[in-house]
Chain A
Amino acid sequence: QKEVEQDPGPLSVPEGAIVSLNCTYSNSAFQYFMWYRQYSRKGPELLMYTYSSGNKEDGRFTAQVDKSSKYISLFIRDSQPSDSATYLCAMSGKNTGNQFYFGTGTSLTVIP
């Protein structure tokens, strides 16, 4: 069962572009939604953490959750070459156990 689906890309954009990354999920019990950034040969680094539906902004990053559509997004404004990485969505819920359920990750390259 594919709990979390994420387009693996790769996605290539010019510097300064707005990037949109997305995940869909099937389990309506998910309530906590995370975005992680993973550089090559490094561990996932937490970028955004949101609870339930709505938007959250942190600098150039905006996370959106639409629970009715079971769809989450991460927007990166004014993308920089240093944003080049794999972006992982992850989610969990009060009744889904202790683990986070991860997407496959989207590989992003920002071209100078």
Chain B
Amino acid sequence: EPEVTQTPSHQVTQMGQEVILRCVPISNHLYFYWYRQILGQKVEFLVSFYNNEISEKSEIFDDQFSVERPDGSNFTLKIRSTKLEDSAMYFCASSETDRNQPQHFGDGTRLSIL
């Protein structure tokens, strides 16, 4: 069964450094998402991406965050200057044809900021 893959599984970064999280969505999916989950808290929406542009973003997704689809398969989340509070699990998800269709999640990248 097709799946969303994310790399790396764990990223350790010094505060203030830039980090790029990578995702390969399911190949025929058109909508892409990033969520984060701080330990013990809810899964929180960050951003959705469709047709090569951001379609919606949350308050969390400030100027330090950016997303890109650099080629036909990858979808990346960049955090420019990481803060301690950015430590979380970051999940990529994709859905097929409509934003209300089921979103399929990857196994996440655990980001640890030191």
Instruction: Specify which of B41, B91, B99, B102 is in contact with A98 (CB 8 Å cutoff).
Output: B99
B43 touches A98 (CB 8 A): no
B43 touches A88 (CB 8 A): yes
Bound Cα distance from A88 to B13, whole angstroms: 29
The chain B residue sitting closest to A48, CB to CB, is B102
Number of interface residues of A (CB under 8 A): 25
Q: List 27 A-B contacts (CB under 8 A).
A: A32-B100, A34-B103, A36-B105, A41-B110, A43-B4, A43-B6, A43-B107, A44-B43, A44-B91, A46-B103, A46-B105, A93-B100, A94-B100, A97-B56, A98-B31, A98-B33, A98-B48, A98-B50, A99-B48, A99-B58, A100-B45, A100-B103, A101-B45, A102-B42, A102-B43, A104-B41, A104-B42
Chain A residues 15-51 with CB under 8 Å of chain B are: 31-32, 34, 36, 41-46, 49
In the complex, whether B25 has a CB less than 8 A from a CB of chain A is no
Bound Cα distance from A45 to B99, whole angstroms: 17
| Nearest-Cβ distance from residue B56 to partner chain A, whole angstroms | 4
Chain A residues within 8 Å of B, Cβ to Cβ: 31-32, 34, 36, 41-46, 49, 88, 90, 92-94, 97-105
The chain A residue sitting closest to B31, CB to CB, is A98
Q: Provide the residues of chain B in CB contact with A93, threshold 8 Å.
A: 100
Bound Cα distance from A88 to B6, whole angstroms: 21
With A88-B43, A93-B100, A104-B42 as given contacts, are A98 and B55 in contact (CB-CB < 8 Å)?
Answer: yes
| Nearest-Cβ distance from residue B7 to partner chain A, whole angstroms | 13
Per-residue contact bits, chain B 79-114, to A (CB 8 Å; 1 contact, 0 not): 000000000000100000001101111111010000
Bound Cα distance from A93 to B99, whole angstroms: 9
Knowing that A43-B107, A102-B44 touch, tell me 7 more A-B residue pairs with CB under 8 angstroms: A34-B103, A45-B105, A49-B102, A90-B43, A94-B100, A98-B48, A99-B45
